[in-house]
Amino acid sequence: MRTQKIMAHQVLARKWRPQQFKDLIGQTHVIQALTHGLVHNRLHHAYLFTGTRGVGKTTIARIISKCLNCEKGISATPCGQCPTCVDIENGRFVDLIEIDAASKTKVEDTREVLDNVMYAPIRGRYKIYLIDEVHMLSGHSFNALLKTLEEPPEHVIFLLATTDPQKLPITVLSRCLQFQLKALTPEQITPHLAHVLQQEHVKFDPDALHLIAQAAHGSMRDALSLLDQAIATGNGEVSQASTSNMLGFQGQQLILPLAQAILTQDIPQALTISKKLDEVAADFNYILDELIALFHDISIKQLAPDFIISKLIVSDADCKKLVQLCTPADLQLFYQIALYAKRDLPLAPTRSIGFEMALLRMIAFRVESHTTGVETKANSTAITQPSAPIIEKRFEATAAPVIKTEAPQANISSPPPPAVGASSLQNKPASDSWHDILPHLGLTAFAKALADHLHFERREADHFYFSLEEKNAPMLQERHRQKIADALTQYFKSPINMSVQIGRSQHSQNSALEQRQDTLNKKQETALNNFKEDKNLQKVLANFDGKMMPETLTVE
C-alpha cells in the first residue's frame, strides 16, 4: 500500500518569527535594556511586557528563555542550534512553563503552578514561567502570586505579558521590571514584508505591501497573516488590485476627486462618487480614514509648508492645489465630521447613507459659514464668521466637553504644600487632622498610594491608628508604612508611631482617595446639570435629533 507524503505549509507568522534580538523589528529601547542586563548578568526576577497584539511580547519572552538556558552559556545571542534552543522554539522545553491566564483565571490554577516553583529546573539553568494575558487573572490569583513574585527562588524567573496593564494591581507592577512595546509603523512593517517575499521568491507590488502594513494597525503578526492571505488571493503573487479587493480598499483612486468635490461644494459630484464607491463595495471606514489623513496632509501644507510628510495620500502637486480651495478652519471642521462619521457609521440604515450624510454635513456646514458674511484676507488665516457661535455649539454637542476646575482637595483650608526640600514647619494646616496633614507630608510613589487608601481611626498622643480595606491589604508593605511614619515624625518634629489594621471600623473616616472621588462626582454632577440647562445645546439636540451622553463628560 502506497502512502502519500503530505508537505505541511508553515504560515509566515510562525516561519518568520524572530529567533534572536537582532531579528526583531522596532522595540530598540527594549532590546538595548535586555541585552545590557544579560551581558552584565544584571538579571531581574520578574519582567512585564506590555503592548498591543502582535508586537513581540511573547516572542521576546521566548528569546530571553533561550538567552538564559542556551547550552553555550548565558548571553544576549543564543546559538539557536543546541537542543535547548530548538526545544524552546518548538514549545517543548520542560523548564519553560507557558500559562494562558485567560483560561487559567482561578486561584486553584495559580496555586497548582506555584506548588512546583520550589523544585529545581530539570534541564536548564532557570525555570521560567511565561504568563500571557496576565491581566486576566482573578484578584485571588494575584494575591496568591504576589509573595512568590516578590521573592522567588534563585532558579525562577517570571515573564509576564499583557495587552492591558491598567488592569494589573499596583502591587504586581511594583514587583516587575516593565517594558512598554510600541506599535509598529507602516514604514517599519513594509520593508520587512518585502524582505520576507524576496526570501520566499514571491512577486509583489510595493504599493500592495503598504496597504497591508496600514491594515495591520501596528501588528507585525497581523501583517504577516494578511500577507499569507494576499498570496493566496493573488494566485501566488501580491498585486495591488487583488490586495485592495481583499482588504476592502477599493476606490483609492476616487479619494482625490472626492476631496475636490467637498472643497468646491459640488454636491452632485460628491454623491456620484459615493455611488461609485458603493458599486465597487468599497469599505467606507477605509475611505473616511483616507479623507481624514488627506485633511491632515492639507493642514500641514497650509500651516507648515516646509514640513516634509513621509507618505502623502495624494501627490505633492495635487495637495498644493487642494490647499488653495479651503481655509484652516474648513479643514478642522471636515476632520472632525469625518471622525464622528466613523463612529456613527454602524448606526446608519446603510453604510452608504451614513457616508453620504457625512459628505453633505461637510458641505452644508461649510456653506452656512461662507454665506453669512465671512470675510477672508489674502495670504491670511484670519476669518470673521458671524455664524461661528452657532456652528461651534453644534459640534460641542457631539464632542466630549471638558470642564476645567481646581484640583480636588480633602478639607484643606491651608496654603499649598511646600516645595521639595522646604521645611515641614512652613505652610502647616490650621488643624492636626489626618486629611489636613496628608498633603503636606511630601509622600511619593507607593507610600503615597498607601496613604491615600488609609482610613483614619483615631489618634492617641503620638500614636496614629489607621485601617485598610481587605482588598487593599497587598499594598501594606513595611517599608511603605515606615516612610509614612517617618514623614509624620518629620512633620511634628517628634517621634510618631502608626499602626494599620486590616478591615475598617464603622467609625473610620473616608480615605483621601474616597474624598477626592466624592468631590469629583459632585463637580461632575454640577457640570452635567449646567449642560442640561444650556439653551443653545437643547436647540441643537432638538434640531439634529441628538441625545446627551453623560459618560463622555470630563471634569478636570
Q: What is the CATH number of the domain that holds 211?
A: 1.10.8.60
- The helix/strand count (H/E) of the chain reads as 23, 12
Question: Residue 118: its pLDDT value, please?
Answer: 85
Question: Residue 126: its pLDDT value, please?
Answer: 92
pTM, two decimals, is 0.56
Question: Residue 431: its pLDDT value, please?
Answer: 56
Among residues of the chain, what percentage have pLDDT more than 70?
A: 84
At 354-394, the pLDDT tens digits run 999 999 999 988 744 443 333 333 333 333 333 433 333 33
Mean pLDDT lowest among 67-71, 356-360, 536-540: 536-540
Is the pLDDT score of 556 beyond 60? no
| Number of domains into which the chain is organized | 4
Q: What value does the mean pLDDT take over residues 115-144?
A: 87
At 99-110, the pLDDT tens digits run 888 787 777 777
Task: Judge whether 358 and 334 are in contact, CB under 8 Å.
Answer: no
3 state DSSP class of 42: coil
Tell me, yes or no, whether 350 and 319 share the same domain: yes
Q: What value does the mean pLDDT take over residues 10-34?
A: 89
Q: What is the DSSP string of 191-228?
A: HHHHHHHHHHT--B-HHHHHHHHHHTTT-HHHHHHHHH
Q: Which residue, among 280, 278, 312, has the nearest Cα to 210 in the 3D structure?
A: 312
Question: Residue 352: its pLDDT value, please?
Answer: 93
Could you tell me the three cell numbers for 245?
A: 479587493
Q: Which residue, among 66, 67, 57, 64, has the nearest Cα to 134 in the 3D structure?
A: 57
6 belongs to a structural domain: no
Task: Judge whether 525 and 375 are in contact, CB under 8 Å.
Answer: no
Q: Which residue, among 273, 280, 418, has the nearest Cα to 358 in the 3D structure?
A: 273
Q: What value does the mean pLDDT take over residues 162-180?
A: 90
Tell me, yes or no, whether 164 and 199 share the same domain: no
Tell me, yes or no, whether 36 and 161 share the same domain: yes
Q: What value does the mean pLDDT take over residues 43-63?
A: 91
Tell me, yes or no, whether 364 and 485 share the same domain: no
Q: Where does 473-511 have alpha helices with state H?
A: 478-492
Residues 156 and 95: their CA atoms lie apart, in Å, by 10
Instruction: Give the list of residues 6+ apart from residue 448 with CB closer than 8 angstroms, or none.
Output: none
Mean pLDDT lowest among 1-5, 50-54, 174-178, 531-535: 1-5
Instruction: Please indicate whether residue 438 or residue 114 has the higher confidence score (pLDDT).
Output: 438
Tell me, yes or no, whether 422 and 504 share the same domain: yes
Mean pLDDT lowest among 26-35, 316-325, 526-535: 526-535
Q: What value does the mean pLDDT take over residues 143-164?
A: 88
Give the mean pLDDT of the chain. 81
Scan for cell 513595611, then name that residue.
Answer: 478
Tell me, yes or no, whether 347 and 446 share the same domain: no
Question: Residue 231: its pLDDT value, please?
Answer: 93
Among residues of the chain, what percentage have pLDDT more than 90?
A: 31
3 state DSSP class of 464: strand
Tell me, yes or no, whether 142 and 263 share the same domain: no
Range of the domain at 227: 186-247
